Structure 1
Amino acid sequence: MPTPSNPYRVNVRDLVHRPGEMREKQLTFAVPEQLGAAAVVVPEGTELELDLRLEGLHDGILVSADVRTTAFGECVRCLDPVVIPVEVEFQELFAYSQDEAYDYLVHDDHVDCEPVVRDAVVLSLPFQPVCREDCPGLDPETGERLADAGPREPREVIDPRWAVLEGLALEHDESRKHNENTGTTS
């Protein structure tokens, strides 16, 4: 069983230096610290499920896991809340001795899965979450949700660098109308 202070820590005493031995464990706990720091995160206290397969090898303990949890954030287009189910897998060797080839070690007959789970979950989170793939976002002028606005004619946006020419076109039209009304030519 994991210790209360670190729910990611798993006792592997019965597998240490026993190649060929295998155990399966299921852990469910509240995430003690937020996972992620961008537009979508797994907040502290969110339930996380770990289905572990622990295998004794000559070099260490091979940990294979399925991780399930839920991430929360907001749509980057319309700012509506989004809830994203997270399901990831990982496989990592926890070595018995310090070696450059291995990133993780077995410590005091335990493996600490926290850094591996954190990396797997955070890397699976979308960089720019959306509430739906075809989310139209917000109107750039009014800020209203375009999905709620319904169909409408697109506005003609004039580049401000050409605004002076718009004024010249109006003057030309007025001059032409004046000439037509008075019967003069320019």
Structure 2
Amino acid sequence: MSADSTTTANAGDNSNTNTNAQQQQEQQQSTTFEAITSQEALDRVLAQRLAREKSKYADYADLKAKAQKYDDAEEQNKTDLQKANDRAEKAERRVQELEGQENRRTLAEEVARDKRVPVHLLRGDTKEQLEAHADEILAFRGPQGVVNKSGTNGDDKEKATSSVAAGRERFAERHKKPNS
């Protein structure tokens, strides 16, 4: 071995020896009790104890800064992820809403066709509700029958051209003067 290698090896051995000696001294101090008889001795013991505690947390500020950076990055990622999730949920709700409207419209058209009532008068969300409302409309309308496109109720004797004209004719019939 060269002289430099020997010197480096000896220096490493010396530092290990010093560290081991310090550990042994601390163990002896902790296992054997020495009464503190002066303020200076108490200050020295407290200073040693504080130094050991401070050395445990010497890199605490660095670790805290790293942890804060990590938390900030996680928060940013979470925010982006949360935004994406919110958009997806909104889109899903909109699709469900549109599907519901389409289903309701289809049901209303079917009931209107079966019951022969105008689709725009029907109210309800389920087929049962729509049918019940159609039955109420039919009961309110009474036994008049279905009015065709010409404005008549299917009876060829009454040829009203509009609902206003038909109303005038009915009013005139009901309110005929007895002397005329």
TM range, normalised to the smaller chain? under 0.3
Relative to the length of structure 2, the TM-score reads: 0.25
Relative to the length of structure 1, the TM-score reads: 0.24
More strand by percentage? 1
Structure with the larger RCO, 1 or 2 (CA within 8 Å, 6+ apart): 1
More helix by percentage? 2
